[in-house]
Structure 1
Amino acid sequence: MRIAMVAPLAEAVPPKFYGGTERVVSWITEELVRQGHDVTLFASGDSETSAKLAACHPEGLRLLGYRDHTAGHLAMLHHVHRRAHEFDIIHFHIDLLQYPMFEDLYHKTLTTMHGRLDVPDFMPVYKTFTGMPLVSISDNQREPMPEDSNWLATIHHGLPKENCPYYPESKGGYLAFLGRISPEKRPDRAIEMAKRSGIPLKIAAKVDKADQDYWDDVIEPMIHHPLIEYIGEINEEQKKDFLGNALALAFPIDWPEPFGLVMIEAMSAGTPVIAFRNGSVPEVIKDGVGGFVVDTMDEAVEACIKAKDLSRAGVRQHFESQFTAEVMVNKYVAAYEQLLASRGNVVDLPTAGSFSPQYGEVNGSPRPSINVAALPA
């Protein structure tokens, strides 16, 4: 299949720092290419991919200090629409802007919803443009959406098997908290789990400006304890040892998490997850196999003790059977095929405008890297 992957422009694909959506887009793209599909990735120019790269901005907008990414995304979508006749499938990973612009092409487009869907501000779009084919990343994520939303499938995230190597035993014997310091992530619960169980806790997390007061007033006073170690933000390489050597990952969330990549990253390493029952948690963690799903602090403390006896090989097997990039992409390909099969006799006509060879097209075939940001309007 000829597939266009349309990524957010906030970060490179894959991201150099924070950027869960861009990381997932990279895993999907690379696995599609590995499986033999012809993929064009619309993303920032500092992205790295084995697909054809259509560079829509020189660098990720967040690193350049852009606060509002709307203009960049509108320009990118304009170019995607002009090239729509080149693709069998156009797969969006941005929020809402494509809904009205691609209403004439819903028969070949789909959008993966990466964030929470219970934001009232977005509902007018969801209720107006109900024809856009959608993919949710958990069944729980769908619940706030209008009943007539056009859901194709729920496809859980997956990552490459080698991304976080399997650690057959925990060498550190600590609880790990990884991600972001914020009220909904509940690092205070992780600290209480450690103090009550007597198991050390290592916190590898960043503090956004929006959460600085929460850090200053609530969390920072709690970390001055011999069992608690605050490490700060870590990179992808550091993450492997951090998760792999942990006794368990503490995932004490208090919000409807749409998915939670860190859960499958931990399970990839063989590290069980102790998670509070919110959002996608019951879909991702098979209780007693991939970790423990808990409802109370007492249950969480008990799970910290039981984690020592849980089979890390079993945790890894749960990951391999459900959450690899190959499993994820096989489901996406099935969704693409379902969408194509429903097209009937729809015929794509070339869109207005054509690319000049000086911008990357030779005899009608795009070169592997095309700077669409430089194209004339």
Structure 2
Amino acid sequence: MRFCMVTTFYPPYSFGGDGVYVQQLSNELAKRGHQVEVVHCRDAYNLLAGRTSSTTDHDHPNVTVHSLKSPWGFLSPFATHQTGRPMLKSSRIKEILERPFDVIHYHNISLVGGPKILHYGQAVKLYTLHEYWLICPTHMLFKFNHEACTHKECLSCTLAYRRPPQLWRYTDMIEQAVKHVDLFIAPSEFTMNKHLEMGLKIPVVELPYFTSRWEWQETTPRRSSMGETPHFLFVGRLEKIKGLQELVPLFRHYERAQLWIVGVGHYEPVLRRMAQGSPNIKFLGYQSGENLRILYRQALATIVPSLWYEVFGLVILEAFSQGTPVIVRNRGGMPEIIKESGGGFVFNTDEELLDAMEQLVGDPNLREEIGRRGYEALQQKWRADLHVQRYLELVEQIVSRREEKLGGEDFVAPVYKDSWSSM
């Protein structure tokens, strides 16, 4: 089959888990003999990163990447942001999407094409809800950059983020655009329910992420066996929504283990000032590949203190792949993973976080047992082959429904299909 992935960010021109997922899915499909093309906006990455990427990524030979770059530079994604249309890249994107693909899979489309891009092409159309862009101008449902949103005040919140309002959001552009998508995919039950709760009428099913980044390697020793200071690990972007500002003060006074922080971001200077040069807190910068795998493997646990509604939490699966427990805040889709796996702890307060940390520091056997649970759950629920199998089944079901309902004619999905909930 021929697939086209449409996304604003794609490694190495990406920031978070959505880009990692798109790349992993593309390569897993390619390894199984499918042809995959990826369309992404390099200008958007350069605009938000303030630089171009100096690294390279290697995809399977069956993956073709269209890294779109306009002579207008940052004006291209800005025009898309303000109009909800591909604008300066429209002819190139339309030319690609009108090719005879079997599936067009949209991901984060905010700066690569806006809602209007959902009209392009005639293939089966999927859309993964990696964030809350369809129901939130700031993508994150993190109100005033301060707290999880429970009551929408979109205009004032957008201005608080120092972003220009998007007037097209006050039209029916999104409502009309989503009619062109056959099926929306939510990585967690929470994310699925949140979109429906906020009034978006879409056909949606849950399909969790997977990870194929590493295999378990027993030969890598645990930190505790190496005679070095035990540590907890944070992996992610250093931004306010990730909640590190609540971890750093705690670890300045915690004597039984250190906090190692992997990642870069705009909030790093603030976090470093909060750390006040504490020897108990280490900033390791960007890490990848084998270095990152070993950091996961040797940590007492990975802590995910996010303050926003995390859609899923790919770092949780990455930690599980190394038999490492995870401690997550009770927010968004993350608690679902811990509940299904038994591979960690969920906390609401600093006291509950400290209690979880104390249990892992004080009982190596408990740490090994919880880590083993996470690894076994990963193998049973979140493997690449299971994900791809379910993904292709969804595609086949959509094709069958198109043929049954319209006899193979051009198809526009209805606004909502209750029957998807039974799949």
Same-fold status (TM-score > 0.5)? yes
Give the counterpart of 1:140 among 182, 190, 198.
Answer: 190
Counterpart amino acid of 2:129?
Answer: M
Counterpart amino acid of 2:233?
Answer: A
Match of 1:38 in 2: 35
Query: Offset of 1:147 from its aligned partner?
Result: 4.2
Taking the TM superposition and a 5 Å limit, the aligned residue runs for 1:2-81 are 2-8=2-8, 10-11=9-10, 14-15=11-12, 18-43=15-40, 48-57=58-67, 66=74, 68-69=76-77, 70=80, 71=87, 74-81=90-97
Counterpart amino acid of 2:174?
Answer: Y
| CA deviation map 1:276-334 (0-9, x unaligned) | 10011112223772111111111111111223423122221122222222222222112
Distance in 2 (alpha carbons) for counterparts of 1:52 and 1:161: 19
1:244–1:270 Cα contact (<8 Å) kept: yes
Match of 2:358 in 1: 305
CA RMSD of aligned residues (A): 3.2
Distance in 2 (alpha carbons) for counterparts of 1:338 and 1:26: 24
Q: Give the secondary structure class of the aligned counterpart of 2:394.
A: helix
Query: Offset of 1:106 from its aligned partner?
Result: 6.7
Query: Offset of 1:49 from its aligned partner?
Result: 2.5
| CA deviation map 1:103-144 (0-9, x unaligned) | 475771111122234414557543333422211122222314
Return closer, same or farther for 1:102/1:182 CA change in 2, 3 Å cut-off.
closer
Give the counterpart of 2:247 among 157, 176, 190.
Answer: 190
Give the counterpart of 2:323 among 270, 287, 296.
Answer: 270
Query: Offset of 1:232 from its aligned partner?
Result: 2.3
Query: Offset of 1:346 from its aligned partner?
Result: 2.2
Distance in 1 (alpha carbons) for counterparts of 2:123 and 2:93: 17
Return closer, same or farther for 1:286/1:168 CA change in 2, 3 Å cut-off.
farther
Taking the TM superposition and a 5 Å limit, the aligned residue runs for 1:334-345 are 334-344=393-403, 345=407
Distance in 1 (alpha carbons) for counterparts of 2:25 and 2:382: 12
1:164–1:240 Cα contact (<8 Å) kept: no
Percent identity (aligned): 22
Higher relative contact order, chain-length normalized (CA < 8 Å, sep 6+): 1
Return closer, same or farther for 1:114/1:165 CA change in 2, 3 Å cut-off.
farther
- Which is worse superposed, 102-111 or 310-319? 102-111
Residue 294 in structure 1 maps to residue 347 in structure 2: yes
Q: TM-score, normalised by structure 2?
A: 0.69
Q: Give the secondary structure class of the aligned counterpart of 1:56.
A: strand
Residue 199 in structure 1 maps to residue 262 in structure 2: no
Counterpart amino acid of 2:67?
Answer: H
2:97–2:120 Cα contact (<8 Å) kept: no
- Runs of 5+ in structure 1 lacking a partner? 350-377
Return closer, same or farther for 1:314/1:101 CA change in 2, 3 Å cut-off.
closer
Match of 2:51 in 1: none
Counterpart amino acid of 1:31?
Answer: E
Q: Give the secondary structure class of the aligned counterpart of 2:241.
A: coil
Match of 1:126 in 2: 174
Match of 2:201 in 1: 149
Return closer, same or farther for 1:106/1:115 CA change in 2, 3 Å cut-off.
farther
2:338–2:345 Cα contact (<8 Å) kept: yes
Query: Offset of 1:219 from its aligned partner?
Result: 4.6
2:249–2:275 Cα contact (<8 Å) kept: no
Return closer, same or farther for 1:157/1:295 CA change in 2, 3 Å cut-off.
same
More helix by share: 2
1:29–1:39 Cα contact (<8 Å) kept: yes
Residue 114 in structure 1 maps to residue 171 in structure 2: no
